[in-house]
Chains A and B, each alone.
Chain A
């Protein structure tokens, strides 16, 4: 379990993390989302006590990580694949870690097998591919059989098989009652893995909620409607206060009216509908939308003195255009 309270990190004049508060609970996978450079890695380093917060604090199971007497059993972290001496073999690397806390050698072999590095475990880690380095980092994280695991962009350099493997691994670790905290800049990946999301942009908290409520925050984009009676449909929508524009192969996107309203109106007027679908922004789009505003805010100083974010407006087609 990780609890961050008012966490802040300033490098020189740059505020990397800005008053961040969130909780990573046991038993679920918590996704840590943000664009590159949004402060995810800095936050994770502060959890591990590697970077000292400028203000605020972060506790692991109720205590700062540095005060844990059994750190490897408290948190296992994959911070970046390069936290390994390139001149040392994977096996020796893990052995040296295990030795600090008297973890038996059998556990080293266990995690080596678990991540599938048995054949290369005696080779120098410097020769490892990014994916192999990532697997070694995961082995290091799991070595102490910890209550909390923290992975920074674990999918980096992994092939599709590897990504599927780590996704299942994280779910399994969570199902064992561990707190799992995993960062990514890919929303789609998190949608498949995480139950809860902590979203940051430019070091600020944007969302700390379940994946479902994050999705629900996204307003419906519109309704896709198909009908052989185009002009009746157009009248119906305009009368209902909506707008429509043709999309691919004869379908129309309606805005300003719900699917329910369109369906009811169509039934009342005897208009045949072949499709009626509410379109939501994808999670990816929602994420981009939310983080983009945070990026914008930071890039222009305060909203008052900076230029307003440019919004691309695609004008909806008028009734006349559609009728033609």
Chain B
């Protein structure tokens, strides 16, 4: 039998090679063809613009009272921050998008199809990261600038609005886009490490909202100041705002340390994907 089988004509396939461009196209199709991801992106957009305008409006109504207005001016009222409150909330939402992009493949088994098509694995992860970063950055850039423009239009009715030309405004707006993109990537990394959507989202939630509060309690004798300064989310504080808080890193060093955190997390995620069975 075996000799007969060996004599049979062997099938020669057309070699269709995997390319990084192909992986990017593939991940782009995957990203925008799942309802949960599209819906979450829309929610993030609405959060940035909606909350921004709403809080700008709430703030502006406070200026109706002259005494409150004087008080707020004395405290150094920041109209840019007032219109970008939604971006803080959206941080968690875009991080959830990052988590879903990878953990959703593990929960459905899709990851096996992905890795069967590109068994090098790292190409898939890199393509996911690029598509996620580009998609989040593009959508959030529109959202952040829209929130700013609408928010300032509301604040301007009370003559306290800022304009795009003001010092550091564009830098702060781009800083928000960078922060949101970074959080989305951190979600992707944690999703690759934990493989479970709920667990990964809770982890990111804790990292963004809970840990900074806990760090406030670290005494100076334990290096509390340094830890707070270099902690993941705290590094974003000054580059997303026009006004700087001296206890945190300056915008550029802050951005660099933030990028380093993301790079390390993505590296750990890539290592887990490469080495663990799926």
A residues apposed to B, CB below 8 Å: 1, 25-28, 45, 48-52, 65-66, 68-75, 77, 79-80, 82-89, 92-93, 95-97, 99-103, 140, 144-147, 176-178, 195-196, 210, 212
Set of chain B residues within 8 Å of A177, measured between Cβ atoms: 8-12
- The 7 listed contacts between A and B (C-beta, < 8 Å) are A25-B5, A28-B1, A48-B112, A66-B121, A69-B18, A84-B113, A100-B18
**How distant is the Cα of A231 from the Cα of B106 in the complex, in angstroms?**
70
Q: Closest Cβ of chain B: how far from A268's Cβ, in Å?
A: 40
| List of B residues within 8 angstroms of A103 by Cβ | 16
Cβ contact within 8 Å between A26 and B8: yes
**A73 and B15 contacting across the interface, CB-CB below 8 Å:** yes
Name which of B31-39, B52-60, B153-161, B264-272 contacts chain A: B31-39
User: Are A87 and B36 neighbours in the complex by a CB distance under 8 Å?
Assistant: yes
Q: In this assembly, does B29 line the interface, its C-beta being within 8 Å of a C-beta of chain A? A: yes
Minimum CB–CB distance for A142 against chain B, Å: 11
Contact in complex: B105, A50 (CB < 8 Å): no
Chain B 9-27 per-residue mask, 1 if CB under 8 angstroms from chain A, else 0: 1111111111100110111
Q: Of B2, B11, B25, B117, which is within 8 A of A71 by CB?
A: B117
* B residues near A69, Cβ cutoff 8 Å: 15, 17-18
Q: Would B115 and A50 count as touching, CB distance under 8 A?
A: yes
- Over the window 244-278 of chain B, the binary record of Cβ atoms lying under 8 Å from chain A Cβ atoms (1 yes, 0 no) is 00000000000000000000000000000001011
Measured between C-beta atoms, what is the minimum distance from A308 to chain B in Å? 36
Contact partners of B118 in chain A: CB under 8 A: 71, 100
Question: With A and B bound together, what is the CA distance between A69 and B20 in angstroms?
Answer: 12
Whether B6 lies near A25 (C-beta < 8 A) is: yes
A101 contacts B11, CB within 8 Å?
Answer: no
Contact A84 B109 (CB under 8 A): yes
B residues less than 8 Å from A68 (CB atoms)? 119
B104 within 8 Å of A (CB atoms): yes
Interface-central residue, A26, A65, A80, by most chain B CB under 10 Å: A26
Q: How far is the CB of A318 from chain B (nearest CB, A)?
A: 45
Q: Given contacts A145-B13, A196-B1, are A97 and B117 in contact (CB under 8 A)?
A: yes
Please tell me if the beta carbons of B1 and A140 are within 8 angstroms of each other in the complex.
no
- The answer, among B19, B22, B27, B108, for a CB contact under 8 Å with A85, is B108
Given contacts A26-B11, A72-B16, A73-B16, contact A99 B109 (CB under 8 A): no
| Cα separation A80 to B110 with both chains bound (whole Å) | 10
Structural contact, A80 and B109, CB atoms closer than 8 A: yes
Contacts of B224 in A (CB 8 A): none
Known: A102-B16, A176-B11. A27 touches B5 (CB 8 A): yes
Q: Which residues of B contact A144 (CB under 8 A)?
A: 13, 16
Q: Which residues of B contact A66 (CB under 8 A)?
A: 119-121
Q: How many residues of B contact A (CB 8 A)?
A: 44
Taking a contact as CB atoms under 8 Å apart, the answer to whether B13 and A26 are in contact is no
Tell me, in angstroms, the Cα distance from A212 to B35 when the chains sit together: 51
B residues lining the A interface (CB < 8 Å) = 1-2, 5-6, 8-19, 22-23, 25-27, 29-30, 33-36, 104-105, 108-110, 112-113, 115-121, 275, 277-278
Given contacts A72-B16, A83-B109, A84-B108, list 6 more A-B pairs with CB under 8 A. Answer: A50-B277, A84-B110, A95-B29, A99-B23, A144-B13, A195-B5
B14 in contact with A48 (CB, 8 Å): no
What residues of chain B lie closer than 8 Å to A84, measured between beta carbons? 108-110, 113
Taking a contact as CB atoms under 8 Å apart, the answer to whether B112 and A79 are in contact is yes
What residues on B are CB-neighbors of A50 within 8 Å?
Answer: 112, 115-116, 277-278
> Do B5 and A96 touch (CB < 8 A)?
no
B33 near A88: Cβ-Cβ < 8 Å: yes
Q: B116 to A77, Cβ gap below 8 A?
A: yes
**Minimum Cβ distance to chain B for residue A221 (Å):** 25
Report B-chain residues with C-beta under 8 Å of the C-beta of A147.
10-13
Residue of B nearest to A46 (CB): B277
Task: Determine if B33 and A92 form an interchain contact, defined as CB atoms under 8 angstroms apart.
Answer: yes
Residues of A within 8 A of B17 (CB): 69-70, 101-102
Q: Which of A49, A52, A71 contacts B18 (CB 8 A)?
A: A71
Nearest B residue (CB) for A86: B108
Would B5 and A28 count as touching, CB distance under 8 A? yes
CA distance A195 to B8 in the complex (A): 14
Q: Are A96 and B30 closer than 8 Å at their CB atoms?
A: yes
CB-based nearest B residue for A68: B119
Report the minimal beta-carbon distance from A5 to chain B, rounded to whole angstroms: 17
Q: Which of B1, B25, B109 contacts A82 (CB 8 A)?
A: B109
Q: Could you tell me the distance between the alpha carbons of A51 and B275 in the complex, rounded to whole angstroms?
A: 9
Chain A residue contacts of B30, Cβ below 8 A: 85, 88, 92, 96
| Contact, CB under 8 Å: A26 / B10 | yes
* Residues of B close to A89: CB separation below 8 A: 33
Let me know if B8 and A85 touch, CB within 8 A.
Answer: no
Q: A68-B119, A88-B34, A97-B26 are in contact. Are A83 and B18 (CB under 8 A)?
A: no
Which residues of A lie under 8 Å from residue B16 when comparing CB positions? 70, 72-73, 101-103, 144
